[in-house]
Chains A and B, each alone.
Chain A
């Protein structure tokens, strides 16, 4: 017994010494110049943001570092850092569905007053504020400034769609003209038309990965378009909405469309969709708009010149009503509670929301949510995909934003994938199972 005591005293002592030494050594490198750090995912818009912020540095002398984390670990990394109350970043450009979690746990500074003072609620599109900035939805409390608007949209091979032979064959087979899809049904017909696995050509490239949110994002837009809902975001009611007829039709549609993807699409996310499209084995692909610059790059995409873009098509739902929806991507910029340079961060935000900055942001390739900029011809003509972006910004809708969104996402992705990708069970079973699980999550969280 004595020996154990001896050991434990020694262990405790050495532990505390070690901890003390480590704490003393942890604060490193005091910066000479003023700078702020913005954390965002690793992709082109982050590069554009860094370039854009050079203007801010010229104006104020404050340097802006945009730290980029790969998409696969982006959300996990900022969650981990926030839990650790890290001051590594001053601003996070974070995913829209995470805002509830960040707001409830106090990781983000509330921006309601700031947004009203600077009239962001007047100059930015209302939908973007709701989905990127507000929590709880409808409360008028804001925690972010819409930074990068984004949504799922489509790229297609104009050369194939306009080929006279294809047009004639398509008309013979389906009885109407081949062209940019006017409904989800038509989109599926086109996919079926082009699908030719024997010759190594496939109908469509869409998401199949459920590691994070890609599968769920595609699923939600077809659910909405066919007349279903994910649930009521204010009452947390799910039963009767998620397992409604419209939702079932949507998921069934997803499953049918998925049959026309190339092999190996069960883990397809944005990169694979782009890769497959540039490899020239699909006539169209669905992806976030922010990934389209790769398809318009002639050096890496042989079909860049022949690529056209369109927003998600409308669809007549199971109840006969026509709806048009696109799944929201994109991020809002939020100030971190633990940042030691909040004043500088606010300075940057003030500069960022100026109309001039927003226009420059748009022209660089960023996706502004600034209403005036969006409507300008200058923006619409800047890139081939900007018109599709403008349309998408009118029809987008988002996933749950409550703190439990990650559990919801995981269960949804798993159950839906079993049906859509794994061909197990029926759409109804999958959605019923998901409804049950979601309701128990909400019950446990105390919403009802």
Chain B
């Protein structure tokens, strides 16, 4: 009797695991096809029924890194010219009959993304931690109201804020500058940082600080030498969230940047090649762009819940 119950339980257990694996597999299909498309040769992308198996090629990745122009009809390179080409030039020429005219914009946009993300994350962490400390330890009147106010700024729909911000940036010459985007992302992340960091700092026993103050430490010294070292986990968790937000942000970047400070999300969707939509290159770019966020997610896994609940859930 007992044995059969446990046997039944085992089967249920096994079935559940099987179900979970199936769900995960189905769930990841769209992700799989990003990588899949990026290795598809140009001519097969529009095949119907879609080809699942094909000889993979890296020309999509060459295309995302270069700017090309198709040869005018009736013109071709001589064999000698083809022989003298660099390997990637030859690949592109053979694949799509295009000539590489210059380096593509992708590396530059990627760099912009990195600059804006690092700049805004650093600023957010610095001023956010300061403010969180102020809110945690200070006994300020209307503290909760201020905290609520700070939270609401995070909830504003970007499309609503972007009109006045656009006008303001225009007046201040801040459109299409790294500083402009950094300020903007900082302003949107700082509310989040304050809420999460306040939770972490609340957990640090106040006794250490007290003792230090008795020893003659100033507030700033207390903050730097006692609070910050104990809040490193919180800082790490917060900064990865700031990173993900700024890395993925689209509405502001799309409207407020054009070239010099344009980030990848504002740029990548509009890269349709001259020869028709370059799905392969777009997929390649997407894959390269998603990679950092995915890696950070995997590293951050344990802090994810705390972050997305604005510090409400401690687990």
Interface residues of A (CB under 8 A from B): 19, 22-23, 25-26, 42-44, 47-48, 50-51, 67, 69-73, 77, 80-81, 83-84, 88, 200, 271-272, 274-275, 278-279, 281, 293-294, 296-302, 304, 364-365, 382-384
Pair A297/B97 contact, Cβ less than 8 Å: yes
User: Which chain A residue has the least Cβ–Cβ distance from B72?
Assistant: A365
Give the residue name and chain of the A residue nearest to B74 (CB): A383
B48: chain A residues within 8 A (beta carbon): 200, 279, 281
Let me know if A275 and B46 touch, CB within 8 A. Answer: yes
Please report the number of residue pairs spanning A and B whose Cβ atoms sit closer than 8 angstroms: 104
Nearest-neighbour CB distance to chain B for A164, whole angstroms, equals: 27
Considering the complex, give the chain A residue whose CB is closest to the CB of B171: A84
* Distance of B63 from chain A, by nearest CB (Å): 12
**Beyond A47-B69, A84-B175, A365-B72, is A294–B271 a contact (Cβ under 8 Å)?**
no
Would you give the shortest CB distance from A77 to chain B, in whole angstroms? 5
A304 CB → nearest B CB, Å = 8
> Which B-chain residue is minimally distant from A81 (CB atoms)?
B258
CB distance from B162 to the nearest CB of A (A): 12
Q: Which residues of A contact B74 (CB under 8 A)?
A: 383
The smallest C-beta distance from A305 to any residue of chain B, in angstroms, reads: 10
Taking CB as reference atom, which chain B residue is nearest A21?
Answer: B179
Q: Say yes or no for B103: interface residue by CB 8 A criterion.
A: no
- When each residue 84-124 of chain B gets 1 if its CB lies under 8 Å from chain A and 0 otherwise, what string results? 00000000001111100100000000000000000000000
Binding site for A on B (CB under 8 A): 42-43, 46-48, 67, 69-74, 94-98, 101, 166, 170, 172-175, 177, 179, 254-255, 258-259, 270-272, 274-277
B70 to chain A: closest residue by CB: A297
The B contact surface, by secondary structure, is loop
Q: Are A73 and B270 in contact (CB under 8 A)?
A: yes
Give B166's nearest chain A residue, CB to CB.
Answer: A80
- In the complex, the answer to whether A271 meets B277 with C-beta atoms within 8 Å is yes
Besides A19-B172, A70-B271, 18 more A-B contacts (Cβ < 8 Å) are A42-B270, A42-B274, A50-B101, A70-B272, A80-B166, A88-B258, A88-B259, A271-B272, A275-B276, A275-B277, A278-B276, A294-B276, A297-B96, A300-B42, A300-B96, A300-B97, A302-B43, A365-B72
B177 / chain A contacts, CB cutoff of 8 Å: 22, 26
Given the interface contacts A84-B170, A275-B46, does A383 sit within 8 Å of B258 by beta carbon? no
Give the distance in Å from the alpha carbon of A384 to the alpha carbon of B72 in the complex: 11
- CA A81 to CA B173, docked complex, whole Å: 11
Q: How far is the CA of A50 from the CA of B101 in the complex (A)?
A: 10
For A50, the chain B residues whose CB sits under 8 A away are: 101
| Contact A43–B277 (Cβ < 8 Å) | no
